[in-house]
Amino acid sequence: MSSVKIDVVIPAFNEENSINRVLQDIPADLVREVIVCNNASTDQTAEVARANGATLVHQPIRGYGNACLKGLEHIANKPIPPDIVVFLDADYSDYPEEMYQLVDPILKDGMDMVIGSRALGEMEAGSMTPQQVFGNWLATNLIRFFYQYEFTDLGPFRAIRYDQLLAIDMQDKTYGWTVEMQVKAAKMKMKCTEIPVTYRKRIGFSKVSGTVKGTILAGHKILWTIFKLL
């Protein structure tokens, strides 16, 4: 496994209280580089990330997709590209140590993309709002209806082969990032699977599901992305 190059991209906006835990729990023997994309944070996120050994890139323009794209820009400039890219949130809601299981279907079964499914795994009570659960159900059922692809979640914890990620040509700059990746993978008939992951209450306050405005905007963008890509 040491010959497989795995890079991790972590978008982060005001996560000074959680990013250290995320970075400390990432399997060091599995990963080549961890890239934290500081997305216009006004707290000490950048300093904490750097102190915990991450490579830091800055994206002053707010947006989940914007932050991820900045991380991919850093990867694109590396002389030796990774084999796999893992995406992980900075709020410590996922369990980074489950990264072994996440990349396993790519390494052993030839999968192109693996989604860490919270719906298939164990979720701590209150870790997802009812709106999030319903939104995931609706979005994945629409993908199943239009593309005949079985997903149960739009979970942010995911792994994808780098060559396939380049083929997808990600564009979304805000809330539609995860669903764009899955819809395009389905359209391109990539080999996709899910594994159950464990999910806990995040540290701090959600900038999306924690507000009515954020929930509405995210839901609208996810549905708009699905229909736009038809």
Domain-embedded: residue 85: yes
Full pLDDT tens readout for the chain, 230 residues: 559 999 999 999 999 999 999 999 999 999 999 999 999 999 999 999 999 999 999 999 999 999 999 999 999 999 999 999 999 999 999 999 999 999 999 999 999 999 999 999 999 999 999 988 998 999 999 999 999 999 999 999 999 999 999 999 999 999 899 999 999 999 999 999 999 999 999 998 765 544 556 677 788 899 999 999 98
**Has residue 70 been placed in a domain?**
yes
pTM for this structure? 0.94
Measured distance CA(74)–CA(67) in Å, rounded: 11
Answer whether residue 200 is part of any domain.
Answer: yes
For residue 159, being part of any structural domain is answered with yes
Its domain, for residue 196, covers 6-228
In a domain, 1, yes or no: no
- Residue 219: its pLDDT value, please? 83
Residue 150 token pair: 């079985």
Whether residue 66 is contained in a domain is answered as: yes
Instruction: Please give the backbone phi and psi of residue 159, each rounded to the nearest 5 degrees, phi first.
Output: -130, 140
Number of domains composing the chain? 1
CB contact at 8 A, 168 and 181: yes
| Residue 57 maps to a domain | yes
Which helix (H) or strand (E) segment holds residue 114: the answer is strand 113-117
pLDDT for 204: 84
**Distance between first and last Cα of the chain:** 38
The answer as to whether 119 is a domain residue is: yes
pLDDT of residue 213: 66
CB atoms within 10 A of CB 73: 13
5-to-76, 180, 203, 223 alpha-carbon distances in Å = 14, 25, 29, 34
CATH of the domain at 40: 3.90.550.10
Please give the pLDDT value at position 217. Answer: 78
